[in-house]
Amino acid sequence: MARDRIRNVVLVGHSGSGKTALAEALLHVAGVTTRMGRIEDGNTVSDFEPEEISRGSSVSLAMAPFEWAGHRINLIDTPGYSDFIGDARAAMRAADLALFVVSGVDGVEVQTEALWRMAGEEGIPRAFFVNKLDRERSSYSRTLTQLKAVFGTAVAPLQVPVGAEHQLCGVAQTTGDAAFTYEGSPKGKQGPIPAAVESEVASLHTALIEAVVETDDSLLERYLEGTEPSDKELVAALHRGMVEGTAFPLLCGAATRLIGIDRLAQFIVDYGPGPDERPAPPLAEGSALPDSGVVAYVFKTQSDPYVGRIALFRVFRGSIPVDTLLENATRGGTGRMHNLFTMRGKEHQDLTEVPAGDIAAVAKLESVLAGDTLRTPGLKVALEPVPMPRPAMSLAVFPKSQQDEEKLSLALQRAVEDDPTLHIERRADTNETVLSGLGDTHLDVTVSRLSARFGVEVETALPRIPYRETIRGTADVEGKHKKQTGGRGQFGVAFVRFEPLPAGTGYEFVDAVRGGNVPRQYIPAVDKGVQEALSRGILAGYPVVDIRATLYDGKHHSVDSDELSFRMAGILAVKAATPTLRPTLLEPIMKVVIRIPEDEMGEVIGDLNSRRGRVLGMDSEAQTRVITAEVPLAEMQRYSIDLRSITSGRGAFEMEMSHYEECPPHETAKVVAASKEDKE
């Protein structure tokens, strides 16, 4: 397929806007499928994972390529749920057009705005499709007004629905003076503009011209002189405006009834940017896209129990014949592209070559991960990986049985490699393996995949909070270890002074011994003993931080002293100091950024106050309100679930570690009591 006949389109939008149904409709109208699959029946092309079928919604991106008017359209269907926004963000790197699917019933929602910001960061052209206009309570005019309020006057409506709600029967073009009606056929029947929408079409046609001529000086000059641009000039100007990010065309219809779907496919061919018109993705420092050779970006990997790891990639430069040897610019090493194929859902179709601008997949390159750049060996180029959202919820994971214990570590590693929004951490202070993701559904799906893909059964629990302890007092003590068992004994005495340090300093050991009372070779042993004791905590079993230990004197025995004796002396020094150190519990404080609809502000802020949160600021982004706050981690472990409940799924948030601060007395008492109960 010639490069100028390739179109790469990613479907994005809030969960429930009908992206998967739209993908099904496009495949059906293009003749790829004989009938449309339905999400509720679990038989769609792009939702084929067991988790997607059981939940009735997308949890992973999927390819759905088709042919239209001599062009190849690589369609990428992405999840709209906030827990899986990482896949939508990754797919934008592979696409040349982001098609925002908006429900004509629900209008612009929080996730739509979040995805819009991401598309802007990636710099790819954008367009809209208002879906579900055949549903009760749907409104095209209300949705159009909202889109312009949120995304500006550059929203350019190319169509008007003919009929409304259950009487929807077609779409009228605001350019070309034609309407298309659908009477039991997926292909629209062209006719004149119906009288019922003539005035609306005329009004939007004028508004469209005024929006378009502002992007072209020559058209604007002629328009001011009284000459309207022709339809051909409008198409060219809109296309240019899409590429430059100054115009965002809008189409409409109903996917489940196949209304307007053929016009959408034709729009992608006629207006959609080609691979050469996509702005170059950000390059790593010192890189430049070469004129020759291969440069490809891996935007998604997935583990298949039968063929191993599958890597989906977009070719930005050059052409890749089968068996081409490519270098991994990100991780080093080379690999041969033996198994090239295209994917449509879970179906594979072998390829002999992948041309520039196209999207394909390769199997069994085990060292290749999402975010990697593949290049011709010797080239000095690498693309910056797509930035991913930070985890917002964590679970401690434990193997259900001893035989699963060995497999768990490998399975978690593979899961994290396939999904860059996951994070795995071994916390030594709580002795837990902690899996972090974007929300409870994200983690639930990951746990299900551990079983389905890797045969590992796990149990989960909320992680223990990684509290820290510090001191407010000082102590000057003797740590004395003396043991006599009949033979050689053990003897070591350490005089240690403990004092608090400023927050964030950590631990400091000072050697102030003079005169050789503690031989030089045993001083590190005292330090080791002190650190060992502090790591176990002196209040509730959590590591002690921001403390200085000064060893200033001691005693030794020429025969009985050794490293063990002085390590024990260090431990006993901490024990002796504990009663006067005034230990205090520190809790982790998270910086939280919450995006919600304006009408949810009061309830969300009230909920934050109940969580001991401090609101730092409130801002506006179009119709979304952004709250920045600091909240203790102990109050945020189930916030993903609670925010969804409060906002009916319309809220989203991110959080990151900010700092530690002193825990209130009543909370400290709870933690200390729980620690004692665990020990007992």
Q: Check residue 13 and give left, alpha or beta (phi > 0: left; psi -120 to 50: alpha).
A: left
User: Are residue 568 and residue 597 in the same domain, yes or no?
Assistant: no
User: Are residue 505 and residue 594 in the same domain, yes or no?
Assistant: no
State the alpha helices, DSSP H only, in 40-181.
Answer: 50-55, 85-94, 110-122, 140-151
State the alpha helices, DSSP H only, in 364-438.
Answer: 402-418
Within a domain: 289:
no
Question: pLDDT digits over 505-533, tens only?
Answer: 999 999 999 888 999 999 999 999 999 99
Q: What is the pLDDT of residue 40?
A: 67
CB atoms within 10 A of CB 233: 17
Instruction: Report the alpha-carbon distance of residue 234 to residue 331 in Å, rounded.
Output: 46
Instruction: Report the alpha-carbon distance of residue 301 to residue 364 in Å, rounded.
Output: 11
Q: Copy the structure tokens of residue 540.
A: 């509730």
User: Are residue 407 and residue 512 in the same domain, yes or no?
Assistant: no
Q: Which residues face 632 on adjacent strands?
A: 589
Mean pLDDT over 645-651 rounds to 85
The enclosing H or E element of 568 equals: helix 563-577
Question: pLDDT digits over 83-118, tens only?
Answer: 999 999 999 999 999 999 999 999 998 889 889 999
Backbone φ, ψ for residue 166 (5° rounding): -70, -15
SS (H, E, C) 476-531: EEEEEEEECCCCCCEEEEEEEEEEECCCCCCEEEEECCCCCCCCHHHHHHHHHHHH
Within a domain: 491:
yes
Q: At how many degrees (to 10) do helices 440-454 and 402-418 cross?
A: 120
Range of the domain at 650: 586-679
Within a domain: 285:
no
Give residue 73's Cα distance to chain centre.
25
Instruction: Report the alpha-carbon distance of residue 332 to residue 313 in Å, rounded.
Output: 17
Which are the contacts of 271, defined by CB distance < 8 A and separation ≥ 6? 127, 235, 238, 239, 242, 249
User: Are residue 149 and residue 234 in the same domain, yes or no?
Assistant: yes
CATH number of the domain where residue 408 is located? 3.30.70.870
CATH number of the domain where residue 84 is located? 3.40.50.300
Q: Copy the structure tokens of residue 431.
A: 């002795």
Q: Which of 581, 612, 635 is the last residue of a domain?
A: 581
Q: pLDDT-based confidence at 435, cuts 50/70/90? A: very high
Within a domain: 458:
no
Look at 60-69, 119-128, 209-218 and tell me which has the smallest mean pLDDT. Answer: 209-218
User: Are residue 75 and residue 177 in the same domain, yes or no?
Assistant: yes
Question: pLDDT digits over 47-67, tens only?
Answer: 888 788 778 788 899 999 999
Residue 360 DSSP symbol: E
Within a domain: 421:
yes
Edge-to-edge strands of the sheet including 423-427?
A: 423-427, 432-437, 393-399, 458-461
pTM: 0.86
Please give the residue that has the higher pLDDT: either 623 or 610: 610
User: Are residue 68 and residue 214 in the same domain, yes or no?
Assistant: yes
Q: Check residue 176 and give left, alpha or beta (phi > 0: left; psi -120 to 50: alpha).
A: left
Examine the pLDDT at 192 and tell me if it is beyond 90: yes
Q: How many domains does the chain divide into?
A: 5
The enclosing H or E element of 434 equals: strand 432-437
Within a domain: 411:
yes
Q: Copy the structure tokens of residue 510.
A: 């000072």
**Sequence letter at residue 665:** P
Instruction: Report the alpha-carbon distance of residue 573 to residue 65 in Å, rounded.
Output: 70
User: Are residue 252 and residue 359 in the same domain, yes or no?
Assistant: no
Q: By the 8 A CB rule, do 354 and 318 touch?
A: no
Q: Which residue has the tokens 């239209």?
A: 68
Q: Which of 566, 581, 596 is the last residue of a domain?
A: 581
Examine the pLDDT at 668 and tell me if it is beyond 90: yes
Mean pLDDT over 25-42 rounds to 86
Within a domain: 286:
no
Share of the chain above pLDDT 70, in %: 99
Within a domain: 613:
yes
Q: Which residue has the tokens 């691979």?
A: 275
Q: What is the pLDDT of residue 620?
A: 86
User: Are residue 564 and residue 615 in the same domain, yes or no?
Assistant: no
User: Are residue 544 and residue 518 in the same domain, yes or no?
Assistant: yes
Q: pLDDT-based confidence at 412, cuts 50/70/90? A: very high
